[in-house]
């Protein structure tokens, strides 16, 4: 059985679940607030395990991705 697991803090609310719809098992991570979903394969997950917290600073800065407004091309 593949039960989704919700995780929540004051900064984020996500649902994680194993996904087996591709050629192999992946981890699906869904941002509950926006519905944005990403699928990570074992190599990507192992790469995260090798990261230092300093390596994630750019990813954790919401002004670089989450709070940007879409700009229409003129």
Instruction: State the residue range of the domain holding 45.
Output: 5-60
Q: Is residue 67 included in any domain, yes or no?
A: no
Q: Is residue 66 included in any domain, yes or no?
A: no
pLDDT tens column, 29-63? 999 998 999 999 999 999 999 999 888 888 888 77
pTM of the shown model: 0.77
Q: Is residue 69 included in any domain, yes or no?
A: no
Q: What is the pLDDT of residue 56?
A: 87
Question: How many domains are contained in the chain?
Answer: 1
Q: Is residue 55 included in any domain, yes or no?
A: yes
DSSP line for 24-55: S-EEEEEETTT--EEEE-HHHHHHHHH--GGG
Q: Is residue 22 included in any domain, yes or no?
A: yes
Q: Is residue 25 included in any domain, yes or no?
A: yes
Q: Is residue 33 included in any domain, yes or no?
A: yes
**Token couple for 10:** 């004051």
Q: Which residues contact 43 (CB under 8 A, 6 or more apart)?
A: none
């Amino acid at each position: 059985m593949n039960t989704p697991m919700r995780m929540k803090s004051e900064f984020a609310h996500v649902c994680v679940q194993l996904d087996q719809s591709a050629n192999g098992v992946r981890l699906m991570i869904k941002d509950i607030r926006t519905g944005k979903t990403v699928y990570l394969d074992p190599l990507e997950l192992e790469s995260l395990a090798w990261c230092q917290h300093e390596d994630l600073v750019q990813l954790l800065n919401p002004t670089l991705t989450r709070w940007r407004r879409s700009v229409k091309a003129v």
